[in-house]
């Protein structure tokens, strides 16, 4: 069974992935949050530090792009390959209306002809390329994928990651595993399941329902509880181990941020995002996060983080 970390814009940054991998080494694959083309056909965000080799050398990293344009897809794949990343992922799931209106992200789920043209151009230019896609069920209806999977079946796509919600649902509401099941029965490519795997029990339930699916992706659940991927893979952490590992995770992240952002104000902005998800599992987590929203000098922050790691966080329900 393979487990990957879902890309989450602004959170699963190169720094986060680096610290997570060094501390836990529990994910088999990581994806960057999406790159988009800017007006000059460059990459947004900038490719560095996101694809910095020093930050990513230990990980199996797949850069992701969001586009409706084969030229940008080809150009990105070439650029990534030149930097040592031989795989690329196409985002067909982003639900934001601005993207969907521009036929990007989940917008592509309603554009089978456009998708076919993009893939035809792409594979004409790069027949050996390792392209995977991350899809939703559709924009408004949960069966819109029926127009898209046959197109994907016609090309040598390496993997289809499915987040079984519609774009209309954004990130809430029920995950539709019934439609997911139908996709697994018609998709010729290996399928990965993603959505609301928030506990080991969630995972075991899915694993027993879909014994033939060997690849799973966790996002918010793993950000809230960074021990989750290890637990899914069978590790039982003691409270003491959790405390030590979380401290190591934090300190590794803290050090790498300080190296890249020597000015504390800038570093502090990145350190804040580290805490957003873990604090969601804590009683009064919102209040603790609010404290962090106000600027803190470095020594004050270090005291605050110590209290969180040794006390508040470890009393949380995970
Ligand atoms: C704030 C936020 C940002 C996201 N950014 C991306 C992204 O850049 N690329 C992508 O493919 N999915 C993105 N996603 C979707 C996640 O990768 C994942 O599919 C979704 O959160 C469902 O999985 P989960 O329930 O395990 O979190 C984002 C989700 C959230 C909540």
Is there a single domain that holds both residue 223 and residue 245?
Answer: no
CA of 285 to the centre of ligand 1 (A): 21
CATH number at residue 119: 3.20.20.70
CA of 8 to the centre of ligand 1 (A): 5
pLDDT of residue 231: 98
Domain boundary pick from 204, 232, 260:
232
Residue whose CA lies nearest to ligand 1 atom number 8: 33
Is there a single domain that holds both residue 224 and residue 294?
Answer: no
Is there a single domain that holds both residue 108 and residue 243?
Answer: no
Mutation choice for ligand 1 from 106, 171, 194, CB with most ligand atoms inside 8 A? 171
Is there a single domain that holds both residue 227 and residue 244?
Answer: no
Cut 0.95: pTM above it: yes
Domain boundary pick from 232, 267, 302:
232
CA of 93 to the centre of ligand 1 (A): 9
Is there a single domain that holds both residue 76 and residue 150?
Answer: yes
Domain boundary pick from 217, 232, 247:
232
pLDDT of residue 165: 98
Is there a single domain that holds both residue 11 and residue 55?
Answer: yes
Q: Does a structural domain hold residue 317?
A: no
Q: Does a structural domain hold residue 33?
A: yes
Residue whose CA lies nearest to ligand 1 atom number 6: 8
Is there a single domain that holds both residue 161 and residue 291?
Answer: no
Residue whose CA lies nearest to ligand 1 atom number 29: 8
pLDDT in tens, the chain (318 residues): 999 999 999 999 999 999 999 999 999 999 999 999 988 888 999 999 999 999 998 899 999 999 999 999 999 999 999 999 999 999 999 999 999 999 999 999 999 999 999 999 999 999 999 999 999 999 999 999 999 999 999 999 999 999 999 999 999 999 999 999 999 999 999 999 999 999 999 999 999 999 999 999 999 999 999 999 999 999 999 999 999 999 999 999 999 999 999 999 999 999 999 999 999 988 888 899 999 999 999 999 999 999 999 887 877 654
pLDDT of residue 317: 54
Which residues line the pocket of ligand 1, CB cutoff 6 A?
6-9, 33-34, 64, 91, 93, 134, 163, 171, 194-197, 218-221
Is there a single domain that holds both residue 153 and residue 215?
Answer: yes
Is there a single domain that holds both residue 144 and residue 248?
Answer: no
How many structural domains does the chain have?
2
Is there a single domain that holds both residue 81 and residue 19?
Answer: yes
| Domain coverage including residue 286 | 239-312
Is there a single domain that holds both residue 116 and residue 168?
Answer: yes
pLDDT of residue 316: 63
Is there a single domain that holds both residue 152 and residue 10?
Answer: yes
| CA pair distance 150, 154, nearest whole angstrom | 7
Q: Does a structural domain hold residue 193?
A: yes
């Amino acid at each position: 069974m393979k487990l990957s970390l879902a890309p989450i814009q602004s959170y699963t940054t190169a720094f986060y992935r680096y610290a997570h991998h060094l501390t836990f080494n529990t994910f088999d694959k990581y994806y960057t949050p999406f790159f988009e083309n800017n007006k000059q056909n460059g990459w947004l965000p900038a490719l560095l530090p996101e694809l910095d080799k020093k930050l990513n050398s230990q990980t199996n990293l797949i850069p992701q792009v969001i586009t409706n344009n084969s030229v940008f897809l080809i150009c990105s794949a070439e650029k990534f390959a030149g930097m040592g990343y031989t795989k690329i992922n196409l985002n067909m799931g982003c639900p934001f209306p601005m993207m969907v209106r521009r036929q990007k992200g989940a917008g592509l789920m309603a554009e089978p002809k456009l998708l076919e043209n993009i893939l035809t151009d792409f594979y004409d230019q790069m027949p050996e390329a390792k392209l995977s896609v991350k899809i939703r069920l559709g924009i408004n209806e949960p069966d819109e994928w029926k127009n898209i999977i046959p197109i994907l079946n016609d090309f040598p796509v390496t993997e289809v990651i499915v987040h079984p919600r519609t774009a209309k649902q954004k990130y809430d509401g029920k995950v539709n595993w019934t439609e997911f099941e139908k996709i697994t029965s018609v998709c010729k490519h290996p399928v990965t399941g993603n959505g609301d795997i928030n506990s080991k029990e969630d995972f075991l339930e899915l694993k027993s329902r879909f014994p033939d699916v060997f690849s799973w992706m966790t996002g918010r659940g793993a950000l809230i509880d960074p021990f989750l991927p290890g637990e899914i893979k069978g590790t039982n952490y003691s409270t003491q181990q959790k405390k030590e590992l979380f401290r190591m995770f934090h300190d590794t992240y803290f050090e790498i941020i300080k190296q890249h952002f020597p000015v504390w104000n800038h570093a502090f902005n990145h350190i804040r995002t580290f805490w957003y998800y873990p604090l969601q599992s804590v009683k009064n987590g919102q209040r603790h996060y609010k404290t962090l929203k106000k600027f803190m000098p470095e020594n004050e922050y270090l005291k605050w983080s110590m209290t969180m790691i040794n006390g508040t966080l470890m009393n949380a329900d995970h």
